[in-house]
């Protein structure tokens, strides 16, 4: 492996977003071979090379992309965006993918006025009003100064030249210098919002042994090995340090890229090749030492000089001041996006950051979790546009969603979140962290509850009644941390990392996948974020995907209990002729009638099917409220493809495997509530389910029968609080 390839681990150690800014004087003609010429103008975009001088004399290179390729519009009317890169890279990193996949050009095409900033010490920002980069004095800085001088200079310049408040985007180190600055109230008055990708603040849980070993060697060994103030990845000093690092026990240097950043899912190999040609950028040794101090101490603090007298001289105290991230203004709109495979911005460390933001206005904090993303996917992922960039630029569109329309209006805090499944579906999740009275500030002490809706509805269904009658708000008022899940294909969960809902491929799933992927993704997300076992509530289809998952031993180790309302498993005794006829027509007639993969109740195809259905003998279509679940055969089994060879290819047998519900762990606390008037979850079918649970621990199985209840009473009944929900809460409290 070449030295350049070997340095990938450090290059991406804290790769960050690019900050964009304006010029302090005339355009830099000497940068004709710089970022604008090589990576922007060649794609047909306008680009200016500019300079900004910091208060401490560093001369920074800034690129401005004032408009999209189509030359769209008046720059004075456009929203300025600053993008901030990170450690050992510069603004070029954001432009390595093609124009349809890199963030600066996507923003420009979407009508933003884009400014790319390059921090001191990088290739095009190596000038100073008096200092020379060949001297140690030039390199006497860490990320403290990047936040105190570099970014403020760029923000000030853009603000002065546009007369507008600014959107900020940072990645990794670019998030650290933003967060610490925000915590001290710096430049927040000039910002409209901030998007923080792969956010870095706390670093105690990095999952890479390579960097953990580097940390243990760092403070004493690095200075001895390099012996210089500038940390450059080129030359003998770095080779010497890397050789010592890779010789440490437990360190595998065969794939440094993955070992450091995590298993990136979605990189373009050609972009990586271009990256290898883009020489690594220098930083100061002091900067790397400052990062190591965060890893070791577990706190985000100013640089520790290691000498008591020197700390007192600079800070007025023996230890460096700690940045209190909870001081970030609570009304500053923040978008945070992080990945499940990120070895640097680990989910535990991100949760510590989110805990610091627990007082943030919930309508001003949007959090996105992408299960398959690692550190570099956020800047070079081929699907980052669809998953991350569109979410960041349109985060306000969720303002019309479930939180805004059905929770916040009643005086409750609510967060709109996103969870990506292992098969690429992007699910909408709402979190209601506390009751209307604001009962309790420590969400980690509260019991998390996931609420799962049924078929042909979404999470909004739980909230149709007033706050005193709907389950999510009742739970929140009773001290629970409430999470509302929305399955794929529903109104706010219609995105995918590569598939489009207008194509049949997007709809190639059944409730099998809802249990195997959707439910699992949400449970893991809540578990990772709260560190606690979870109570689960499902209704109708929400009970089916839970029961089948439990029968295979899935998720049960993350659950504290499960409440199953109007439980659906066996469906042979439905008392509605409408759905019985639908079952007889379904497999052959529906495909002929609709001719599409998405079953939508709107439009001519469904009307045509409904007319044929309602024309069948014995069918009364005057009340369609009961038509909210899909009818299957008399057993609970995986999807039957109807072809022996296809079933064999997928399952290894001619018929699909049957879910054995008696395999549900007998010690899992279960609460089942069903009604005598339920035409879908019929009492005979529920009894068949209970027969499957006959070996369940008696003290862990609670069954409620409500004579007058039908299917929707469990979700929308005006007396459900007194009859069902209070019983569920009492059951949960037994196992808290």
630 pLDDT band (50/70/90 cuts)? very low
Q: Residue 309: in which H helix or E strand, if any?
A: helix 308-315
Say what the pLDDT of residue 411 is.
87
Are 91 and 64 in contact, with CB atoms under 8 Å apart? no
Average confidence (pLDDT) over 193-212: 81
Average confidence (pLDDT) over 701-715: 94
4 pLDDT band (50/70/90 cuts)? very low
Q: Do the domains 3-327 and 401-572+667-734 sit in the same CATH topology, yes or no?
A: yes
Say what the pLDDT of residue 89 is.
86
Model confidence pLDDT, tens digit, residues 453-465: 998 889 999 999 9
Q: Is the pTM of this model over 0.85?
A: no
Domain boundaries, the chain: 3-327, 401-572+667-734, 577-651
Model confidence pLDDT, tens digit, residues 678-697: 888 889 999 999 999 999 99
Q: Which fold has domain 3-327?
A: Rossmann fold (3.40.50)
666 assigned to active site: no
Average confidence (pLDDT) over 402-414: 87
Greatest alpha-carbon pair distance for the chain in Å reads 93
* Two structure tokens written together for 23: 């010029």
CB atoms closer than 10 angstroms to residue 101: 20
Q: Are strands 283-284 and 230-231 parallel, antiparallel or unpaired?
A: antiparallel
Say what the pLDDT of residue 573 is.
55
pLDDT above 90 for 14: no
Catalytic residue among 375, 529, 539, 711: 375
| CA–CA gap between residue 379 and residue 362 (Å, rounded) | 27
Model confidence pLDDT, tens digit, residues 137-193: 999 999 999 999 999 999 999 999 999 999 999 999 999 999 999 999 999 999 999
Catalytic residue among 172, 393, 551, 561: 172
Q: Residue 705: in which H helix or E strand, if any?
A: strand 701-706
342 assigned to active site: yes
Model confidence pLDDT, tens digit, residues 79-138: 999 999 988 889 999 999 899 999 999 999 999 999 999 999 999 999 999 999 999 999
Per DSSP, the three-state class of 181 is helix
- Burial degree of 625 (CB within 10 A; 0-12, 13-18, 19+): exposed
Model confidence pLDDT, tens digit, residues 266-319: 777 776 666 656 656 788 889 988 988 888 888 999 999 989 999 999 999 999
pLDDT above 70 for 598: no
375 assigned to active site: yes
Catalytic residue among 342, 386, 458, 518: 342
Phi and psi at residue 638, in whole multiples of 5°?
Answer: -65, 170
What letter does residue 93 receive in the DSSP assignment?
G
Please tell me the CATH code under which domain 401-572+667-734 is placed.
3.40.50.1820
Nearest to 654 by CA among 662, 643, 638: 643
28 pLDDT band (50/70/90 cuts)? very low
Q: Which residues contact 269 (CB under 8 A, 6 or more apart)?
A: none
Residues of the chain with pLDDT > 90, as a percent, come to: 53
Nearest to 570 by CA among 668, 693, 485: 693
> Mean pLDDT score of the chain, rounded to an integer?
82
Say what the pLDDT of residue 592 is.
42
Residues of the chain with pLDDT > 70, as a percent, come to: 76
User: CA angle, 338 as apex, 335 and 340 as ends, to 5°?
Assistant: 155
pLDDT above 60 for 30: no
Average confidence (pLDDT) over 253-266: 63
pLDDT above 70 for 199: yes
Are 659 and 548 in contact, with CB atoms under 8 Å apart? yes
């Amino acid at each position: 492996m070449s030295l350049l390839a070997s340095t990938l681990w450090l290059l991406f150690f804290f790769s960050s977003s690019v900050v964009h800014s304006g010029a302090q004087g005339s355009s830099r003609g000497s940068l004709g071979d710089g970022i604008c010429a090589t990576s922007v103008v060649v794609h047909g975009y306008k680009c200016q090379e500019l300079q900004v001088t910091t208060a401490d004399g560093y001369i920074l290179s800034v690129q401005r992309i004032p408009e999209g390729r189509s030359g769209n519009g008046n720059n004075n009317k456009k929203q300025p965006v600053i993008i901030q890169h990170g450690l050992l890279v510069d603004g070029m990193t954001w432009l390595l993918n093609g124009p349809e996949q890199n963030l600066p050009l996507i923003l420009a095409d979407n009508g933003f006025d884009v400014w790319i900033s390059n921090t001191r010490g990088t290739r095009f920002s190596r000038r100073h009003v008096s200092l020379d980069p060949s001297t140690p004095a030039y390199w006497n800085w860490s990320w403290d100064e990047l936040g105190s001088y570099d970014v403020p200079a760029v923000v000030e310049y853009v603000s002065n030249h546009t007369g507008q408040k600014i959107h900020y985007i940072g990645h990794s180190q670019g998030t650290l210098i933003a967060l610490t600055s925000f915590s001290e109230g710096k430049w927040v008055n000039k910002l409209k919002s901030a998007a923080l990708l792969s956010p870095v603040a706390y670093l105690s849980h990095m999952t890479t042994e390579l960097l953990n070993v580097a940390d243990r060697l760092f403070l004493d060994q690095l200075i001895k090995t390099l012996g210089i103030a500038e940390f450059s990845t080129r030359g003998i000093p770095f080779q010497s340090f890397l050789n010592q690092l890779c010789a440490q026990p437990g360190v595998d240097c065969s794939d440094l890229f993955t070992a450091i950043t995590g298993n990136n899912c979605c990189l373009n190999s050609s972009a990586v090749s271009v990256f290898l040609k883009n020489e690594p950028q220098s930083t100061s040794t002091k900067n790397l030492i400052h990062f190591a101090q965060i890893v070791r101490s577990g706190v985000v603090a100013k640089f520790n000089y290691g000498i008591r007298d020197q700390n007192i001289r600079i800070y007025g105290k023996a230890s460096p001041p700690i940045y209190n991230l909870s001081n970030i203004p609570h009304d500053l709109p923040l978008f945070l996006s992080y990945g499940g495979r990120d070895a640097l911005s680990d989910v535990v460390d991100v949760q510590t950051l989110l805990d610091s933001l627990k007082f943030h206005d919930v309508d001003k904090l949007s959090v996105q979790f992408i299960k398959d993303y690692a550190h570099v996917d956020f800047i070079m992922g081929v699907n980052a546009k669809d998953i991350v960039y569109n979410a960041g630029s349109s985060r306000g569109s969720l303002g019309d969603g479930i939180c805004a329309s059905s929770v916040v209006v009643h005086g409750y805090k609510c967060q709109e979140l996103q969870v990506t499944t292992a098969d690429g579906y992007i699910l909408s999740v709402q979190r209601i962290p506390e009751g209307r009275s604001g009962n309790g500030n420590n969400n980690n002490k509260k019991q998390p509850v996931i609420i799962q809706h049924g078929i042909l509805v979404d999470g909004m269904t739980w909230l149709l009644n007033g706050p005193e009658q709907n389950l999510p708000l009742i739970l929140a008022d009773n001290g629970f941390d409430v999470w509302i899940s929305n399955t794929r294909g529903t109104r706010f969960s219609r995105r995918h990392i590569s598939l489009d809902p207008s194509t049949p491929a997007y709809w190639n799933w059944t409730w099998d996948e809802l249990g195997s992927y959707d439910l699992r993704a949400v449970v893991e997300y809540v578990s990772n974020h709260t560190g606690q076992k979870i109570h689960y509530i499902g209704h109708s289809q929400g009970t089916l995907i839970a029961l089948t998952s439990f029968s295979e031993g899935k998720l049960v180790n993350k659950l504290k209990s499960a409440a199953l309302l109007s439980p659906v498993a066996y469906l042979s005794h439905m008392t509605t002729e409408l759905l019985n006829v639908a079952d007889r027509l379904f497999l052959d007639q529906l495909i002929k009638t609709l001719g599409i993969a998405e079953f939508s109740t709107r439009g001519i195809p469904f009307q045509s099917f409904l007319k044929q259905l309602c024309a069948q003998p014995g069918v009364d279509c005057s009340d369609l409220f009961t038509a909210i679940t899909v009818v299957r055969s008399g057993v609970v089994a995986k999807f039957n493809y109807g072809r022996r060879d296809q079933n064999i290819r997928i399952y290894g047998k001619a018929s699909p495997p049957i879910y054995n519900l008696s395999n549900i762990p007998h010690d899992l606390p279960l609460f089942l509530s069903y009604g005598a008037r339920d035409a879908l979850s019929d009492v005979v079918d529920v009894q068949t389910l209970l027969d499957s649970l006959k070996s369940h621990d008696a003290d862990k199985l609670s069954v409620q029968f409500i004579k007058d209840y039908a299917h929707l009473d469990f979700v929308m009944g005006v007396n459900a609080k007194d009859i069902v929900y209070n019983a569920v809460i009492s059951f949960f409290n037994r196992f808290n």
